[in-house]
Structure 1
C-alpha cells in the first residue's frame, strides 16, 4: 500500500493508496507446482486487467501461468466456471472492504451508500473485469437486471427484507438500485476505453449452470417469480420522471438568488 493521493478520486486505487489483488496470483511461469484454484483465479483477474475480457481463453491463461491449458481443468472445469470464479473473487473484495457494512445495523440507506461506493471501487480497480459482473448468472438467467454474483443478490435481498421491505418491495429495490449502479458504472468504465460487450452463456455449456447449487441462495430461489418479471418499461418511465423532477429542482435552485447576490429588481 502507498499513501493515498488526496487529489485523486477517493474511490480510485490512487485515492485508496493502491489496491490489493482479490487473491494472490501464481507468478507467470510458476508451472504446476504453483497452481490451485485461488491462484488461477487471481491470475485470470490479472490477465483480464491487462489484456481485456475478450482476450481470455483457457489456452492463453495456461500460457500466462506457464502450463498447458489442460492443467487448469483440474481446478476449473471450463471457461464459464472460470468467469464465475473471477466475478465472485472480485465481488469478494466488498467483503474485505472496511468501509462496506455487510449488515444494516446503521440503517438501509447507510448500507446502500456504502455498498455503492464499494462496488464503484471495484469497477475502478478492475474496469476490464467489471462488465462481466453485469451478465446473466448461468444458474439463474431469469434474474432481472442480470447480476452474475448470486451471492450479492442474495445478501442484498436479505438486507432489504431485514429492513422491513416486503418481498415485492425488496425486489423493486434490487431492480432500481442495480439498474442505477450498473448503468452508471458501465458508462464510467466505458469512458476509460473498456469495451462494454457482456458475454452471455454460450450455447451448449450446461455445466456452468449445473455447477452452481442454488440451495445456497434460498431467497433468490423463493423470489424467482418476482425477479424474472420484465418491468423495464415501467422502471424506465419512473426513472425518467424522477430525473425530470430532480432537474426541475436544479432549475429552481439556479433561479434562486444566492446569499450576497443582488436581488433582481
Structure 2
C-alpha cells in the first residue's frame, strides 16, 4: 500500500472505535468542520479538544497536529465563517450596480452567515483579528480591502470610506449580535432570557403591558432592512460632504 493511502497517523483511535477509512483522513478542514458543527448543535461552552476528538474518533492529542489548541481552533472557525462569504453568489466583490447595491449585498451576506451559524457568530465579534484595528464583523483584511476598494472606486474619498467602514461595521455587529442572541447564541450581556408565562412583573407599567405584543414581536428581518436603508442614506450624505470639501 502506498504511503498516500495510509490513514494519517494522527487518527490515533479511541479505544473500541472502528478505524476510519482512508477517505476520512484527519486534517485541519475536518477538525474545523467538526468544531463548527459542535458549536451549531451544542453551543460554544461545551466545546473541548477531548470532546471534539471523541466526535472524530481519535484521541484529543491527535488534533494538535492540525491546530495548536482550542484558541487556534476558534480562530480557524472564524476564518471558515468568513471564507464562506467568497462562495456566496449574491455578494459582489466590486460594485456592479452602484455602491449602495454593493453594500446591501455585503450586509445580507454577513447576515446569512450569522443566521446559518448563530451560536458560532459571536466568535466573529470576540476573536483576535489579523490586525488589532480591524472591526468585526468584517474579520479579514481581504474583506476590508474589498469594502474600501469598492467605495473608493465609487467616488468616496479616503476619509469618507473610513467613515463608511466604521458606520457599516457598527450597524452590522450591533444588529446581528442581538439577532443571534434571540436564536440561542451566548453573547454575554446580550443573553436573552426566556419570557415568563405571565406578565405579573409588569404591574405598574400599563403602557408596557398594553404594548407587550408589539414589543415582543420578532421584526428582525424588517428592522434589518429599515436600518440598512437608513445607513445607506447616511453614507450618501457622508460621501457628498467629503466630495464638496
Q: Which residue in 1 is equivalent to 2:108?
A: 117
Q: Which residue in 2 is equivalent to 1:151?
A: 142
1:205-244 → structure 2 map (5 Å cutoff): none
- Give the Å deviation of 1:119: 1.2
Question: TM-score normalized by structure 2?
Answer: 0.63
3-state DSSP class of the match of 2:110? helix
Q: Which residue in 2 is equivalent to 1:71?
A: 62
Match of 1:60 among 51, 54, 60: 51
Q: Does the 8 A contact of 1:127 with 1:189 survive in 2?
A: yes
Match of 1:38 among 29, 32, 36: 29
Q: Which has the larger radius of gyration?
A: 2
Q: Could you tell me how far apart the structure 2 residues matched to 1:110 and 1:188 are?
A: 23
Match of 1:99 among 67, 86, 90: 90
- Give the Å deviation of 1:176: 0.4
Indicate whether 1:175 and 2:166 are aligned. Answer: yes
Q: Could you tell me how far apart the structure 1 residues matched to 2:117 and 2:136 are?
A: 21
Structure with bigger helix share is: 2
Q: Could you tell me how far apart the structure 2 residues matched to 1:29 and 1:184 are?
A: 45
Q: Could you tell me how far apart the structure 1 residues matched to 2:138 and 2:92 are?
A: 20
Q: Does the 8 A contact of 2:111 with 2:176 survive in 1?
A: yes
- Count of residues in correspondence between the two structures: 177
Q: Could you tell me how far apart the structure 2 residues matched to 1:145 and 1:96 are?
A: 20
Q: Does the 8 A contact of 1:135 with 1:148 survive in 2?
A: no
Q: Could you tell me how far apart the structure 2 residues matched to 1:111 and 1:195 are?
A: 31
Unpaired segments ≥5 residues, structure 1: 1-27, 199-238, 247-265
3-state DSSP class of the match of 1:53? coil
The RMSD of aligned alpha carbons is 3.0
Q: Does the 8 A contact of 1:31 with 1:65 survive in 2?
A: no
Unpaired segments ≥5 residues, structure 2: 1-16, 190-226, 235-245
Deviations 1:120-140 (A, max 9, x none): 111111000111111253442
